[in-house]
Amino acid sequence: MKILYSYLLLFLSLAIVACDDDDDPSTGGTGQITIEFDNRAGNDDLELLKEYVNGAGESFQISKLNYYISNISLTTTDGKVFIVPQDSSYFLIMEEEGESQHVHLRNVPSGNYNQISFTIGVDSLRSTMDISKRQGVLDPAQGHDGMYWTWNSGYIFFKMEGTSPAAPSDQDNKFYYHIGGYGGYETPALNNIRTTTLDMGSAVAQVRPEKNPQVHLHVDVLEFFSSPTSISIADHPLVMFSEYSTTVSANYVSMFKYHHVHN
């Protein structure tokens, strides 16, 4: 009986703490936040194998769009930064897999968040860690839809493939953008690690123990071809491990934009 009382007491005190949290989000308690990566083509939801036209006037269809998101951090309106624990901060977003586009972050301290930062790709430290520390979407042996270069050890951070009449016929009118490069292991090499910070303006994501806000990001493939550099499929139908990939990675950063939040 005594034990029952102490459990009851514990439960009640927890409940009280939880109640308190609602009034002052900055003290105690954690919640969950979901970040949705919504791949788009301008105003439309992106559909694979549907025809779109890029800034260079080239029509194209996308057959594959995958990218790694990692090292996420969230900042509150009063400047407190929550860094998602590194071991659980790697996600592979795939247009073909709807579930992958919803990144669920748990144990986020209660607070009003209005800024999100993340890396598009995989940081150099994790890229060179022992394989036992690279499981799940980071397992180099699993391949994950070919998101790893085995000949030049490293993740492909961003992969977009499709067809376009502007792509050369000896390439079956296909275009390929496979972008990676963490900076080299001992010798400096290609570095396409890109980080972005998205400001939510006056909107906030209210993280509370009982709330699960959803931050909706737009990831626009039309931006890929236009901003800041105009990329033409005809001029660059195949970009992999080459200097031009840094132009491509600078462009894909601009695909990511904050759109809205559900609290």
Partner 1 sequence: MKSCYAFLFWVLLFATGCSDDEQIKEKNPAPVVLDIPANFPEPVYDLAANPLTEEGIALGKMLFYDPALSRDNTISCGFCHQQPTAFTHHGHDVSHGIGDQLGRRNSLPVQNLLWYRNFFWDGGVHNLDLVPLNAISNPVEMDEETPNILRKLEGQQKYRDKFKAAFGSEEITSTRFLQSLTQFMATMVSANSRYDRYVRNEGMQLTSNELQGEILFRQHCASCHATDLFTDQSFRNNGFSSAEDMARDSGREEITLNPDDRGKFKVPSLRNVEYTAPYMHNGKLNTLQDVLNFYVTNVQVSPTLDPLLMQNEQPGISLTVDERSKIIDFLKTLTDEEFLSDRRFSEY
Binding site for partner 1 (CB under 8 A): 128, 130-132, 135, 139-143, 148, 150-153, 184-190, 241-243
Closest approach, Cβ 148 to partner 1, in A, equals 8
Comparing CB distances to partner 1, the nearer of 37 and 155 is 155
User: Residue 176 or residue 241: which is nearer to partner 1 going by CB?
Assistant: 241
CB of 153 to partner 1, least distance (A): 5
Nearer to partner 1, 63 or 246 (CB): 246
Which residue lies nearer to partner 1 by CB, 155 or 225? 155
Nearer of residues 23 and 130 to partner 1, judged by Cβ: 130
For the chain, what percentages of helix, strand and coil (3-state, to nearest 5) are there?
20, 40, 35
Residue 173: what residue type? N
Q: Which is nearer to partner 1, 3 or 141 (by Cβ)?
A: 141
Compute the least distance from the CB of residue 242 to partner 1, in Å. 7
Q: How far is the CB of 57 from partner 1 (least distance, A)?
A: 31
Angle at 32 between CA 17 and CA 45, to 5 degrees: 150
Query: What is the amino acid identity at position 20?
Result: D
d(CA 230, CA 233): 10
- Measured from the CB of residue 194, what is the shortest distance to partner 1 in angstroms? 18
Q: How far lies 44's CA from each of 41, 218, 221, in Å?
A: 5, 10, 10
Closest distance to partner 1 from the beta carbon of 150 (Å): 4
Are 207 and 32 in contact, with CB atoms under 8 Å apart?
Answer: yes
Q: Where are the beta strands (DSSP E) in 57-193?
A: 59-76, 81-83, 90-94, 102-109, 111-120, 148-149, 154-163, 174-180
Contact by Cβ (8 Å): 164, 58: yes
